[in-house]
Amino acid sequence: MKDVSVAPVPVVLGIDDLRPLPWATSIARTSREGIQLLEEHRDSFIDELWLDHDLGGEDTIMPVVTVLEEAAFNGRPFRIGAVFVHSANPIGAETVVRSRARWNYRVRRATA
């Protein structure tokens, strides 16, 4: 019998109200759904996390950012390979980038 090793599928999470993000394995469309998505992956490695700042209406990514910050502050940061911020809101995107970098998450601005 052959030993067939299957490479693990990367976990790519997206939190964005509009973009399709076809490379993402899971997408949340609101901050509430985004927090739930992160909690579902709490004990696993997240290869990439894609964040949009403005999530429609009054909703923004900031509640998700708070969850990530609190986890890092409490000494149990989420295990994330890279965070990509792909917002059309430059001020909001920069706020997210600065807060992620402050807590030692690998983060950069990206185009989605």
Residue 8 DSSP SS3: coil
- Look up the pTM and report it: 0.88
**What tokens does 93 get?**
């995107």
Residue 2: pLDDT band with limits 50, 70, 90:
low
Q: In this structure, is residue 43 part of a structural domain?
A: yes
Q: In this structure, is residue 34 part of a structural domain?
A: yes
Q: What is the CATH number of the domain that holds 40?
A: 3.40.50.2300
Contacts of residue 61, Cβ cutoff 8 Å, sequence gap at least 6: 15, 31, 34, 51, 52, 53, 54, 55, 87, 92, 96
* pLDDT tens-digit map of 87-98: 888 888 888 888
Q: In this structure, is residue 103 part of a structural domain?
A: yes
Q: Which structural domain range is residue 53 located in?
A: 12-109
Give the number of domains in the chain. Answer: 1
Q: In this structure, is residue 7 part of a structural domain?
A: no
